[in-house]
Each structure stands twice: as C-alpha cells, then as structure tokens.
Amino acid sequence: MSSDKAGLIFRAHYFDDRAAWQGLCDLLRDIFEIDVSGLDRLGGPDPTSAPFGFFDADGTCIANITAFAMPLVIDGVFVRAAGLQSGAVRPSHRGRGLYRAVMEAALDHCNAEGFEAVVLLTDTPALYEKHGFRPLPQHRFAGVPPTGGRAFATRRLHLANEADLTLLSRLLDGRAPVSDRFAPLRQKEMFLFNASLMPDLKLDLLEEAGAVVAWQADGEGNVDILDIVGTRMPALADILASLDVTPQRVTVHFAPDHLAWDGEAIADDGEMVLMLRGPDDLQPALPFALPPMAAF
C-alpha cells in the first residue's frame, strides 16, 4: 500500500524490487559513503528486513529507515527485539517531515509484530529521544591477558572463499550468545557486512572448539577481540593460546562473562550511541557492549 507526500511515493517492504533496493543503496552511498550493495555477494540483506521509504517519480530513494528482527539476551533473559538501521534523508528534502513519517511507520510495524523492544545506533541521540528511545551506556573490557590456555588447531577464514563463507554463515545461524549481559542471538548479515569492510580483521576458526574469533592486533602488543561465533564460548586463555599471540594488553568489546576472565570496564567514548525503546526495567544492570561485528 502506498501514499503520496510532497509529490513523493511512500513504499514499504520493497526489497523484492531490485530497482528500489538499488535506490536505497544509492541513498546510503550518497549520505554515508557506504556501499551496502556488497550484501548481495554475501547472501543479501536480512530476510526479516522491513524497509519504509519515500521515492520520487524517477525511482530515487529520498528517505528511508529499515526495521529488522534482532533477538537479544539481556541479563540472561530472551527479548524479542527489533533493530532500526539505514535511516537517512537526502539534504534536498530535509525539514519536510519525511523522516518522522518513515520512523512512525517503522515503529508501528514493530508494535504490530509484537516486538518487546527496539534498538538502534546513532550519533544524534536527541533525534530519537522524542520517539521514546533512551541511551544505554556501553563499555569495553581491558586488562592483562590470561595465560596457560589450551591451544586448539586454527584456520584463517576468508570471505572471498565460498566454502569459508558457507561455514561462517552456518555458525552464525546457530551461534550462542557471546554474553548473557547483552548480546544478539542472530545478526548474520551485519556480521558478514561489517567483516567485509574491515581489511585488517582476522577471522580464525578454532576447529576443535567449533568457534570463530573475530580479532585485530595493532602491532604494538595489543589485541582486540571483537566477537566470537560458536555454539559455546572458549575461555579467553584458550583463544589467545590458539591464536599464538602473547599481547601486553587485551581488550574485549563485549561483556566477558563467558570467557573465564575479568577485564576493567572502560566507558565507551565513541560517537555512536546505543539506544533502546522499551519498558523502563529492560536495561542491563552490569557493564556491557554490543559487539562491533553486530553494529548496524
């Protein structure tokens, strides 16, 4: 169903239209300089996606926001949540209420689908507070790395290798939550897309553990663990032994409650703010972070 506003056509659930999908890709490239068309090679956009946008008569996407299913674990409790992403309006059409209209359509969709919460990442949190969102403070966890772990055989995975991509996709489909404090239960498409944008990211399969570690090293004795994909979480000591690294300092970018290690919780000072719309009591009580590979 569509309606006109300011000479534009409102469209919803349009990802089955290749021209409209390309229109959204063009919008995000023009506004954010990000080419999301790379998702096509990785299996396509999240199949739960529900986009809401305005298009002009030539098929140019003028404004958009997309809702998608993002089930979460928050303090050990399963939460049927949704995420919002790909929010943008072309500068030539700002100030006309288009973004408010697509936001309201997306939130109406989330309410109709029975989602208990909605989350998003933004560098303009005040824009979303008027829609009932509140910021959630995030932390990373840093400290002296553990030693004495068991070394598993490892193999480097490459997204350009179809067999590796298939293996990683399967593990992402059946992954366990990386933390019980706050973690997505699935977000395969964003993990693969984010990995494709990070040339220095290492994806190492710990074969006996059946887990893939997404990590980076800065060459100065520091290792960053960005995410772990598997049916169970290896201990951090085992991960470092398997990767055959002896860093001076390790930073884990999610709550390490499954890693048999405690780091110092350091408040995130980045520009992007995680925001949640839901009941007031739905908030992690302990320091946590959304794993960077799940950023959207």
Per-residue pLDDT tens for 167-177? 999 999 999 99
Helix count (H) and strand count (E) of the chain? Answer: 6, 18
Model confidence band, residue 4 (pLDDT cutoffs 50, 70, 90): low
Give start and end residues of each alpha helix (H) in the chain.
Answer: 18-32, 98-112, 125-129, 162-173, 188-196, 236-243
* Residue 2's pLDDT band (cuts 50, 70, 90): very low
Amino acid at 82: A
pTM: predicted TM-score of the whole model, two decimal places: 0.94
Question: Tens digit of pLDDT for each residue in 82-119?
Answer: 999 999 999 999 999 999 999 999 999 999 999 999 99
Identify the CA nearest to 234 among candidates 259, 257, 214. Answer: 259
Phi, psi dihedral angles at 283 (to 5 degrees) = -155, 130
pLDDT, averaged across the chain? 95
Q: Identify residue 283 by its one-letter amino acid code.
A: Q
Does the structure show a pLDDT above 60 at 246? yes
Given this model, what pLDDT does residue 1 score?
A: 38
- As a whole number of angstroms, the distance between CA 72 and CA 82 comes to 9
Q: What is the mean pLDDT of residues 146-154?
A: 96
Helix (H, G, I), strand (E, B) or coil at 101: helix
Q: Give the per-residue pLDDT at 204.
A: 98
Measured CA distances, 286 to 74, 93, 254, 256, 272 (Å): 10, 42, 11, 11, 20
Confidence class for position 251, pLDDT limits 50, 70, 90:
very high
Q: Rounded distance, CA 212 to CA 158, Å?
A: 12
Beta bridge partners of 9: 4, 55
DSSP type of residue 82: E
CA 224 to CA 103: how far, in whole Å?
35
Per-residue pLDDT, averaged over 63-79, amounts to: 96
Task: Give tens-digit pLDDT for 176-200.
Answer: 999 999 999 988 999 999 999 999 9
User: Reduced to 3 states, what is the DSSP secondary structure of residue 189?
Assistant: helix
Backbone φ, ψ for residue 169 (5° rounding)? -60, -40
Backbone angles phi, psi at 171, to 5 degrees: -65, -40
Mean pLDDT calculated for residue range 30-42? 94
CA distances from 190 to 63, 68, 140, 187, 213 (A): 21, 11, 20, 6, 16
Across 44-58, average pLDDT? 96
Q: Which residue has the tokens 């560098």?
A: 123
DSSP string over 225-271? EEEEEESSPPPHHHHHHHHT---SEEEESS--TTTT---EEEE---S
- Whole-angstrom distance, CA of residue 67 vs CA of residue 84: 5
272 exposure class (CB count in 10 Å sphere: 0-12, 13-18, 19+): middle
